[in-house]
Amino acid sequence: MQLVNKFRDMNKKMEAYNYVLSIVGWDSGTEAPRKSFRRRAEMLGIVSRELFTLQVSKEYQSVVEELYSNIDTFDDSFQREVRKANKELKKIINIPEDEFVEYQELLQLSQQVWEDAKENNNYEAFKNNLEKIIEFNKKFALYYAPKRNPYDTLLDDYEEGMSTIEYDEFFNYLRKELVPFVKKVLEEKNNEYDKFINDSYDPKKQEEFCNYLINVFKFDTDKGLMKKSVHPFTWNTSPEDVRFTTRYLENYVFSSIFAAIHELGHATYEQQVSTDFDGTLLTGGTSMGVHESQSRFYENTVGRSLAFWETHLKKFKELFPEQTKNIEPIDMFKAVNKVEASLVRVEADELTYPMHIMLRYDIERKLMNGDVSVDDLPQLWNDLMDEYLGVRPNSDSDGVLQDVHWSAGLMGYFPTYALGSAYSAQLYFTMINDLDLDQIITDNKMEIINEWLKNKIHKYGSSKTPKELLVEVTGEEFNPKYYVKYLIEKYSKIYF
C-alpha cells in the first residue's frame, strides 16, 4: 500500500510537470509572440530535464519494478497502470544516455532541415537526417525488444496490439477492394462546385460558423475552448480542460469547418473520459487509432452527411448569402464530398485518404526492413502515387517531403490515421443498430450520439485497450470490410 502511494505521488509530480509544459505548449502553438521562442526553449529545456530526471530516477525505477514483480496481486485496472508505467520506463532506460541525447539533438535539427528542404524542393538536403532518424528508431526499438521486428515494436507504440501482420492484412484488403472503386470514382467529372468551394469567405464569419458548430456538437465550453492556429490540433490536460484549434483560409471555407468538426471529435472524447481516472495513468483517450476514429466519425460520418447539411445549411446561408445563392443541401453534400486525386495527404478527401496512408505504410515498412534505401525514396513515392491514385508529383515538396512526421521521428504513426477511419466505420455499423443516426442529426440532437459514444468508448479513458473496446462495442475484432462497405455505399450514392 505504501508502495502504491509512492507510485501515485511520483506519477502525480510528473503529471504536474507535464501539465505546466503542456500549457506552455498550448500558449506557444496559439498566441506566444514570435520572438519569445529563444527564452521559451531555454526555460522548457530546464523543466523538461527535471521531468526526465524524475522519470528515469532510480527511485521511480525501483517502485515500478517492485510493483511489476507483484503485479498479480493487484486488480485489473491497477495492473494496467503498472504495465503501462513499466513499458514506458523500459522504453527509455534501455537507451544509453548519450544516444538518447544525440537523438534529441538530431530531431531538433531535423525540423529545420526538413522545413528548408521542403521549401527548396531539395530532398538531397534532408536525406541524411532521415537515414539517421530511421537508424535511431530501429536501434531504440531493438533495445526495448531485441527479438522483435523493430517496425512491429513501433507500430505497437502508436497503436497497442497492432503489428505488420494486422496492418498488412488491412492494407491488402484495401488494395484489393477499394483501389478499383477509387479509380472508377476518379474517372467521373467533378468540377461542378469548384467556384462555390473556392469562393471568398470572410474569416470572421467562418469563425462565427465554427462557434455555431461548437453548439451543434454540444461541446462544453465551461471545460474547453476553441482558438485558431496555423495547424489545427486538440490539446487537453484533463476532462475539465480540453481545447482545440481550427484555421481560417479565406478561399477554402471547408478547411475551417471540417478542421473544427474533426477536432471537436477528439475534444469530445477527452471531455467525456470519466474523472474517476484523474491522477491515474488511465486517463485520456486509449490510442491514436481510437482517437482518430472519433474525430473522423464527427468529421466525415456526421459532418459530411446529407442529413447534417439539410439541418445546418440554413445557418451557413445566413452567413454567406451571396456565395450560397444556388446551393441546396444536396449540393452542399456533394461539394463537401468532392473526390479528387490530390498529391497532398492533408488536402485529401475521405475516399482517397487511405490511399495516401497505404503508400506511407508501404514505404515505412520497406525502410525499416532495409528493403529500400533513402536514395530511392522519391522514385518509390512517385511510383506508388501513380499506382494508387494515377497521379505523379512534379516536385518532392509535394511528394516525399510533404509531411512533418518523419523529421519529427514519428515512424509507425501514419497507419493509425487509416485505422481510425476504419474503426470509425465499424463503430458506425454498430451504432445504427441502436440509433437512427440521420434522424438524430436532422433533429440537431448530437447529445444522443455523444451519450452513446461516452458509454461505449469515451468514459473508459485508457482503461481498455483498443482491441478490448472494439470487441466489447461491436462484438467482433477489427474488420476492414466495414470501412470499404461504408465508403463504397456512400460514394456510390454520390457518384453513380
Task: Give me the active site residues, please.
Answer: 263
Q: Residue 10 Cβ, how far from its own copies at the closest point, in Å?
A: 11
Q: What's the CA gap between 7 and 85, in Å, rounded?
A: 10
Q: What's the CA gap between 113 and 407, in Å, rounded?
A: 8
Of residues 9 and 66, the one with the C-beta less far from its own copies: 9
Asked whether position 371 contacts its own copies by CB under 8 A, the answer is no
For the stretch 453-459, contacts whose Cβ atoms lie closer than 8 Å and that sit 24 or more positions apart, written own/partner, are 453/268, 453/269, 453/272, 453/294, 453/297, 454/272, 456/427, 457/269, 457/290, 457/294, 457/427, 458/268, 458/269, 458/272, 458/273, 458/294, 459/272, 459/273, 459/274
> Rounded to an integer, what is the distance from CA 443 to the centroid of its chain?
29
Of residues 219 and 406, the one with the C-beta less far from its own copies: 219
Asked whether position 224 contacts its own copies by CB under 8 A, the answer is yes
Asked whether position 276 contacts its own copies by CB under 8 A, the answer is no
Judged by CB under 8 A, the residue of 237, 268, 272, 300 near its own copies is 237
Binding residues for its own copies, rule CB under 8 A, total 39
Q: Residue 295 Cβ, how far from its own copies at the closest point, in Å?
A: 20
Q: What's the CA gap between 321 and 314, in Å, rounded?
A: 10
**CA distances, 337 to each of 14, 58, 299, 414 (Å):** 44, 54, 11, 23
Piece in contact with its own copies (CB under 8 A), picked from 9-17, 139-147, 341-349, 485-493: 9-17
Q: Residue 163 Cβ, how far from its own copies at the closest point, in Å?
A: 36
Return the bridge partners of 234, or none. Answer: 244
Piece in contact with its own copies (CB under 8 A), picked from 40-48, 56-64, 95-103, 248-256: 40-48
**CA distances, 368 to each of 137, 167, 211 (Å):** 9, 15, 44
Contacts with its own copies in 17-36 (CB under 8 A)?
17, 19-21, 23-24, 26-27, 31-36
Of residues 72 and 222, the one with the C-beta less far from its own copies: 222
Residue 22, helix vs strand vs coil: helix
Asked whether position 319 contacts its own copies by CB under 8 A, the answer is no
Judged by CB under 8 A, the residue of 2, 5, 46, 189 near its own copies is 46
Of residues 237 and 424, the one with the C-beta less far from its own copies: 237
Asked whether position 177 contacts its own copies by CB under 8 A, the answer is no
Of residues 454 and 490, the one with the C-beta less far from its own copies: 454
- 173-192 b/e with 16+ CB inside 10 Å = b? bbbebbbebbeebbeeeeee
Asked whether position 41 contacts its own copies by CB under 8 A, the answer is no
Asked whether position 278 contacts its own copies by CB under 8 A, the answer is yes
Piece in contact with its own copies (CB under 8 A), picked from 237-245, 294-302, 393-401, 410-418: 237-245
Residue 245, helix vs strand vs coil: strand
Judged by CB under 8 A, the residue of 12, 148, 184, 392 near its own copies is 12
Q: What's the CA gap between 329 and 337, in Å, rounded?
A: 12
Residue 201 grid coordinates: 469567405
Which residues lie near its own copies (CB under 8 A)?
A: 12-13, 15-17, 19-21, 23-24, 26-27, 31-36, 38-40, 42-44, 46-47, 50, 221-225, 227, 237-238, 240-241, 243, 278
